[in-house]
Amino acid sequence: MNLEELKAIREKAQKDIQLRQKEGRIKIIVGMGTSGIASGARGVLKAFVEEIAARNLVDVMVTQTGEKGLASQEPLIEVVEEGKPTVIYGNMNPEKAKRVVAEHIVSGNPVLDYVIETT
Amino acid sequence: MLAELSDHVMDIAMNSVRAGARNISIAIIAQRDKGTLSVSIGDDGIGMDEETLRKVSDPFYSTKAGKTVGLGVSLLKGAAEICEGEFQMRSVPGQGTEVEAVFPIDHPDVPPLGNVKDTFLLLCVTNPEVRFSFRFSADGKDFEMDTKQVNDILGGLSISHPEVVTFLSNYLEEHL
Ligand SMILES: Nc1ncnc2c1ncn2[C@@H]1O[C@H](COP(=O)(O)OP(=O)(O)OP(=O)(O)O)[C@@H](O)[C@H]1O
Ligand SMILES: [Mg+2]
């Protein structure tokens, strides 16, 4: 494998103007402060990144923050979507992350079992 | 608290991201002849003045809002010192910060490397605005990657595009 092979991906994606316009519709922010990492946030971040990539969701941005919130409920993640309340999920793990992608990100139904706050 | 060196790297690199770094270099290098394993993270973020720098390896210092305990730096320092290794942090306000931990490679308390591939991948695809340069030289592997090269090939396409993420994941799996 060679990085030059990325050219083919670029050319293919550039043809898809519609997809590019949707970029960043939803943002998933994973809390990666020290205590977040210690409680497993890296596996959660990985699950989101892999799941979004596997489903080819070009309009979802997965990002991380070093800031932290309620240490007792880490790993914490935030789902930020324009025009909708921000949803904060706590005590996440990779399986829960996959469920959030399927139900909240893809189907638009927040997973109430894991929600700790909406703002 | 952080069991693997790849967790420490993720953690220290996130300090760099929070410090507004545009360029972050990460190197994990084993030198058999010297008997060392060194982990270093350098950034061009806001940096720290001398007084802050002195306080940082104190586990109760943090500038995060609403936080009294800053742990990340002192955990890496502690991990190095527990195996009689060395730890250094240098910083220049307005220029950036460098953290280096050197472990005696054969000491039984050196934390395992863990999944370095995931740390590299996750850092670069979830911080697309930062240029990362990665170097890994250990376990018979010698790997280098600069995300500037990736971004140059991608033109305007984001490094966090799903197909790019899948490609890079496979690429790192093969080379790292
Ligand atoms: N690369 C850096 N650039 C500028 N300042 C830094 C950098 N790394 C650490 N600091 C400063 O040192 C403080 C302590 O860092 P440390 O990683 O130990 O704790 P923290 O990041 O505040 O919290 P935690 O790591 O527990 O989530 C930070 O709050 C920040 O002010
Ligand atoms: Mg930190």
**How many CA within 13 A on the CB side of residue B135?**
14
**Among A1, A4, A13, beta carbon nearest to B170:** A1
Region of poorest pLDDT, from A10-24, A56-70, B77-91, B153-167: A10-24
User: Is residue B45 scored above 70 in pLDDT?
Assistant: yes
CA dist B139 and B105 (Å) reads 11
Burial B114-129 (b: 16+ CB within 10 A, else e): bbbbbbbbbbbbbbbe
Residues of B whose CB is below 8 A from A72: none
User: Is residue B66 scored above 70 in pLDDT?
Assistant: no
CB-count exposure of residue A23 (10 Å: 0-12, 13-18, 19+): middle
| Preceding omega of A75 cis (within 30 degrees of 0) | yes
Going by C-beta distance under 8 Å and a sequence separation of 6 or more, which residues neighbour residue B81? B87
Say whether A3 and B160 touch across the interface (CB within 8 A).
Answer: no
Which residues of B lie inside 8 Å of A (Cβ-Cβ)? 1-2, 7, 10-11, 14-15, 17-18, 64-65, 67, 70-72, 75, 118-119, 121-122, 125-127, 149-150, 153-155, 157-158, 160-167, 169-171, 174-175
Which residues of A lie inside 8 Å of B (Cβ-Cβ)? 1, 3-7, 9-10, 12-14, 23, 30, 32-35, 37-38, 42, 45-46, 49-50, 52-58, 61-68
User: What would the two tokens of residue B101 be?
Assistant: 């931990």
Confidence of residue A36 (pLDDT cuts 50, 70, 90): very high
Residues of A whose CB is below 8 A from B149: 3
* Residue pair B139/B80 in contact by the 8 Å Cβ criterion: no
User: What would the two tokens of residue B25 be?
Assistant: 């270099």
Residues β-bridged to residue B137 = B29, B142
* Residue pair B112/B139 in contact by the 8 Å Cβ criterion: no
Q: In whole numbers, what is the pLDDT of chain A averaged over residues?
A: 91
CB-count exposure of residue A106 (10 Å: 0-12, 13-18, 19+): middle
**Among A13, A23, A34, beta carbon nearest to B71:** A34
- The DSSP string of B91-150 is EETTTEEEEEEEEETT-TTSPP---HHHHHHHHHHH-TTSEEEEEEEETTEEEEEEHHHH
Distance B15 CA to ligand 2 centre (A): 5
CA dist A24 and A66 (Å) reads 20
Residue A102's pLDDT is 98
Q: What is the CATH number of domain B5-175?
A: 3.30.565.10
User: Is residue A18 scored above 80 in pLDDT?
Assistant: no
Residue A17's pLDDT is 58
Q: Where are the domains of chain B?
A: 5-175
Ligand 1: lining residues by beta carbon, under 6 Å: A 33-34, 68; B 15-16, 19, 43, 45-48, 56, 61-64, 70-74, 97
3-state SS of chain A? CCHHHHHHHHHHHHHCHHHHHCCCCEEEEEECCHHHHHCCHHHHHHHHHHHHHHCCCCCEEEEEECCCCCHHHCCCEEEEECCCCCEEECCCCHHHHHHHHHHHHHCCCCCHHHEEEEC
User: Is residue B3 scored above 80 in pLDDT?
Assistant: yes
More confident residue, A78 or A14: A78
User: pTM for the whole thing?
Assistant: 0.94
Residues A34-49, mean pLDDT to the nearest whole number: 96
Residue B175's pLDDT is 95
> What atom of ligand 1 comes closest to residue B12's alpha carbon?
17
Residues B135-162, mean pLDDT to the nearest whole number: 95
Domains of chain A: 16-118 (3.40.30.10)
Say whether B72 and A33 touch across the interface (CB within 8 A).
Answer: yes
Smallest CA separation from ligand 1 atom 9, residue: B15
pLDDT tens figures, B84-143: 999 999 999 999 999 999 999 999 999 999 999 999 999 999 999 999 999 999 988 999
Confidence of residue A21 (pLDDT cuts 50, 70, 90): low
Distance B11 CA to ligand 2 centre (A): 6
Q: State how beta strands B96-104 and A26-31 pair.
A: unpaired
Q: What is the DSSP letter of B64?
A: S
